[in-house]
Amino acid sequence: MTALTMNWGQESSIGCGRSPELSCKSSARRVSPLWRLTSGQPRRLRASRGARWLRLREGELWVTADGRPGEPPPEDWWLSPGQTLRVPPGTSVLMEGWPTASFELLEEPSA
């Protein structure tokens, strides 16, 4: 399984379209402006062909990747505001706000 990678800094390693409040280095496509989750409201982000990034804006977000038979259990990630988590191609994750979370979902531009 491809590992999820965390960007702990305030500057994102991906682009953010027209959003001037985010510091970005390269181009990415915003899927939706802002998603909100609360505790007790887990949501699955299904696998996609390209990499995606979750960028937390407010609250805390718990994220875990789906496990695969014969492999060690996946790590859990706790995102705080300003942190970005890269979700590799072909990886689905389960996430939940603690107690609430607002985040952006970004993906690589089409080739």
User: Residue ranges per domain, the chain?
Assistant: 5-107
Say whether pTM exceeds 0.85. Answer: no
| CATH top class, domain 5-107 | mainly beta
What pLDDT digit, counting tens, does each position of 74-107 carry?
Answer: 889 999 999 999 999 999 999 999 999 999 999 8
| pLDDT single digits (tens) 8-51 | 333 333 333 333 222 233 345 555 578 999 999 999 999 999 99
Can you read off the two tokens belonging to residue 50? 């390209």
